[in-house]
Chain A
Amino acid sequence: MDHKTIQDKLFLLADGELPENERQAIVSHLDDCGECAGLILQWRKVQETLGPASLPEPSEVFVFTVLDRLEPRRRPEPILNPRRLAAWLLPRLSLGLTALLISLMLIRPQVVIATESLLLARSPEGDSWEFSPESPDVGLLFGQPRDTP
């Protein structure tokens, strides 16, 4: 083998992929050829840097982090199915509507007057009081004229 052929096979030598007779021929060539020997030397340096020694240390933290991410925490399943949504929503809506209607029927508008307002209000006829069988006129008590003549 000449220098050129051997240079083409130098990497195969480094990989241990050469048959024994070729390996021996190349090894003996390296003794005489500085260029090929230099190339092998440089390649060994590259291998040292890129080789398995460049791999990181094993990490249990990494393993646990991966396992943690495999199973995300269970969350309540959102109701996205339209049928399930309707089955959940309709009874609640009708119940709420019924309750609203009943409350509207029961509550009537009333005039609310506080007892204190009545007792402390100033009587237009002076400070004397007399009993009357008639119901008191609220408007009169607050100083408004009677509607009736």
Chain B
Amino acid sequence: MTESSADDTLTIQRVHAGEKDAFATLVRKYEVRVRGYCMTTLRDAALGEDAAQEIFLKAYQGLKAFHGDSAFSSWLYRITVNHCRDVLRKASRRKSESWDAMLEREGETAEARLTGSADASERFEHAETLRRVLAELPESHREILLLRESQGLNYEELASILGCSLDAVKSRLKRARQEILSRSRHFLLQEDV
């Protein structure tokens, strides 16, 4: 996202000057990534779309307060991460699915489905299982994994978005990766057979 932060600055200046249509340029540029983050985090396409819309509305309303202290992309990601946290916290008050219950249910089906050759539908189910594992990770681990693996952000960008040092990014990322591997190893290993 940093490669074109100069373009973003120019676009934001146009929005500040009253060209509301210029905001469309920013939405077009980042909507796939914001929607992707929301959909994976909230594990629901419709919820993800709604959340992404709210995020762009917040960004538009807050753009007056954005003075380019960080890259626009980092600022937008901070809004995205915080908004998804809020949505998940509200949802978890209503309903929570325990990791143990998920593992019990998924463990059997994953084992059964991964014994044969992996065709397209099996691969899809495998990916779905992995996304469930991701959803059950602690918030800070899930966030950093998505920002790194799905959004492809570098360590500096992660530090700016998550408000921590480079060393903290590296160690948090390592722990998050070890955790998702350890939780999904039972079916990742079976897939190799």
A residues near B, CB below 8 A?
8, 11-12, 17, 38-39, 41-43, 45-47, 49-52, 54-59, 62-63, 65-67, 69-71
Whether B181 contacts A70 by the Cβ 8 Å rule is no
A55-B32, A67-B27 as given contacts; A46 in contact with B181, CB under 8 Å: yes
Whether A70 contacts B177 by the Cβ 8 Å rule is no
- Known pairs A55-B35, A67-B24, A71-B20; list 20 more (Cβ under 8 Å): A11-B177, A41-B192, A42-B184, A45-B188, A46-B177, A49-B127, A49-B131, A50-B134, A51-B150, A54-B40, A56-B36, A56-B39, A56-B45, A58-B32, A59-B31, A62-B53, A63-B31, A66-B53, A67-B27, A70-B60
Whether A55 contacts B181 by the Cβ 8 Å rule is no
Q: Which residues from 100 to 149 on chain B have a C-beta closer than 8 Å to any C-beta of chain A? A: 126-127, 130-131, 134, 145-146, 149
The distance in angstroms between the C-alpha atoms of A51 and B127, with both chains bound, is: 11
Whether B23 contacts A70 by the Cβ 8 Å rule is yes
Whether B27 contacts A49 by the Cβ 8 Å rule is no
Whether A17 contacts B155 by the Cβ 8 Å rule is yes
The distance in angstroms between the C-alpha atoms of A50 and B150, with both chains bound, is: 5
Whether A11 contacts B173 by the Cβ 8 Å rule is yes
Whether B181 contacts A39 by the Cβ 8 Å rule is yes
A62-B53, A66-B57, A67-B23 as given contacts; A42 in contact with B32, CB under 8 Å: no
Instruction: Pick the 4 closest A-B CB pairs, nearest first.
Output: A55-B36, A50-B149, A49-B127, A42-B188
The distance in angstroms between the C-alpha atoms of A50 and B184, with both chains bound, is: 13
B residues near A, CB below 8 A?
20-21, 23-24, 27-28, 31-33, 35-36, 39-40, 45, 49, 52-53, 56-57, 60, 126-127, 130-131, 134, 145-146, 149-152, 155, 170, 173-174, 177, 180-181, 184-185, 188-189, 191-192
Task: Say what secondary structure dominates the interface of chain A.
Answer: helix
- Contacting A69 at CB < 8 Å: which of B35, B57, B181? B57
Q: How many A-B residue pairs have CB under 8 A?
A: 91
B47: min CB distance to chain A, Å = 13
Residue of A nearest to B34 (CB): A62
Identify the interface centre among B32, B49, B146, B149: most chain A CB within 10 Å of its CB.
Answer: B149
Whether B53 contacts A55 by the Cβ 8 Å rule is no
Residues of B with C-beta under 8 A to A59:
31-32, 35
